Amino acid sequence: MAAAAPLATLRADTPAGAALSNSQLAAQVIMAGIDSCGAVSGAEKRRLTAIPVGAIMLFKKNLTAAIPDIKRMNGELCAVIEEACGIKPFIALDHEGGIIYRFENEVARLPAPFSYSRLAVQEGTGAALARIRLDAALAAGELNRLGITMNLAPVVEPLTAENRAFLDTRSYGEDPVWAGAAALSFVQGMAQGGVFCVLKHFPGNSAADPHMARPVWNAGTGELKRLVAPFQSVITAHPRCAVMLSHAVVPAWDEKNNASLSPDIIARLRNEYRFDGIVIADDFSMGAVKGIAPPEELAVRAVLAGADMVMAWPNNLGAVHGALLRALETGRLPRSRMAGAVARIVRAKQAYNPAFSSASAENPSERRAARLTGFPFLRAVCR
């Protein structure tokens, strides 16, 4: 077993994955859906032992069991993956509020984001932002007690005539300044409860639902800058978050590629918007990217373009992992690119939530340091 290394020393520009095998590196950049509900099936355990992913995403089908069973299931998922690679996964879901709600009735449903814009009119902006922060903190407490550590929310995009048909009440409102402030309050509240947020969907969307069709957002450069400003305001004030890329084509920034596959748009996010956190590509099984290439090939292209994490489902997890592994082993996907992605993922975990601490660092002095500093330790098996 490799000597434990403090994750606090890992940087995105160093070979952070040096202690991980190629197979483990390829697994860590995947956020995977699961089939289990209430208890992790034997088949699921075997799949996640072979491919110990960096994150698990939960949907309504996974959350119909009793609350104690959901909590137990999430603990089992973390244990299986940590045993396989030494790194606990994020447990993620969409908990935006309003119509985006994955539970039955046991967990409180947050208000629709747009409803807070009405509250701002009635009671003032300060009161509305305080309410968003409080509601998010209370929701995060519920999620955290269930073992859920990542929220695929909030929607940061302002509402426009073009995207209203798709986003509707999922957006905080039409004013970009208000949308940014509201999203920031949500992220801060979630952080208070120990839940890591994912800002979505950068840089934006049009009327077409990307689940069904390819959105094309024809805003000019000036309009783009104004409407993308909320992302920058949140990133600047609260850099400990992730950003999810949309599948929209934004001709002013890249005439050819969907944002989720665009080196130019990801480079803009990194360089112009100074974002050094996790970049997540939206689901490549959506209609927006159908016909470009199989999902596993799109996953490789996304990581090559600069994304740090891609999504997979139980029925194509093996194909996505296999494609990433082949690209890594043939040199198509440089190891430094994959290691940089994994470093960002691990760094977010170790900096954000003490629940990611490994239960047993190998060295007693490291165990003492972990207790004192809250930093976890990587227990990676070299294979």
Ordered per-residue pLDDT tens for the chain, 383 residues:
233 223 223 333 434 455 789 999 999 999 999 999 999 999 999 999 999 999 999 999 999 999 999 999 999 999 999 999 999 999 999 999 999 999 987 899 999 999 999 999 999 999 999 999 999 999 999 999 999 999 999 999 999 988 888 899 999 999 999 999 999 999 999 999 999 999 999 998 876 667 766 778 888 899 999 999 999 999 999 999 999 999 989 999 999 999 999 999 999 999 999 999 999 998 898 877 888 999 999 999 999 999 999 999 999 999 999 999 999 999 999 999 999 999 999 999 987 655 444 333 333 333 222 222 222 222 332 22
Quick one: pLDDT at residue 345?
Answer: 96
Specify the length of the chain in residues.
383
C-alpha distances out from residue 17 to 190, 268, 302, Å: 29, 25, 19
Pairwise CA distance, residues 321 & 300, whole Å: 9
Quick one: pLDDT at residue 22?
Answer: 95
Cβ atoms within 10 Å, residue 204:
25
Cβ atoms within 10 Å, residue 330:
8
Quick one: pLDDT at residue 54?
Answer: 97
Q: Which of 312, 295, 333 is nearest to 52 (CA)?
A: 312
Quick one: pLDDT at residue 185?
Answer: 98
What residue ranges define each of the domains in the chain, with the CATH number in brackets? 5-378 (3.20.20.300)
At residue 332, the 3 state secondary structure works out as coil
Quick one: pLDDT at residue 60?
Answer: 95
Supply the DSSP symbol for 109: P
Quick one: pLDDT at residue 196?
Answer: 96
DSSP string, 189-238: HHHHTT-EEEEEEES---SS-TTTS--B----HHHHHHHHHHHHHHHHH-
- Identify the bridge partners of residue 30 per DSSP, sorted by sequence position: 310
Beta-carbon-side half-sphere exposure of residue 123 (alpha carbons within 13 Å): 12
Pairwise CA distance, residues 168 & 154, whole Å: 14
CB 140 within 8 A of CB 196: no
CB 171 within 8 A of CB 158: yes
C-alpha distances out from residue 311 to 20, 28, 231, 257, 307, Å: 20, 11, 22, 18, 11
Quick one: pLDDT at residue 326?
Answer: 98
Quick one: pLDDT at residue 51?
Answer: 98
Q: Is the dihedral of CA 133, 135, 138, 143 positive or negative?
A: negative
Predicted TM-score (pTM) of the model is 0.87
Q: Is the dihedral of CA 260, 263, 265, 270 positive or negative?
A: positive
Quick one: pLDDT at residue 145?
Answer: 94
- Give me the helices (H) in 253-379, please: 263-271, 295-305, 317-330, 335-352, 364-373
Omega into 354 within 30° of 0, i.e. cis?
A: no
Which two structure tokens, joined as six digits, stand for 63? 């959350």
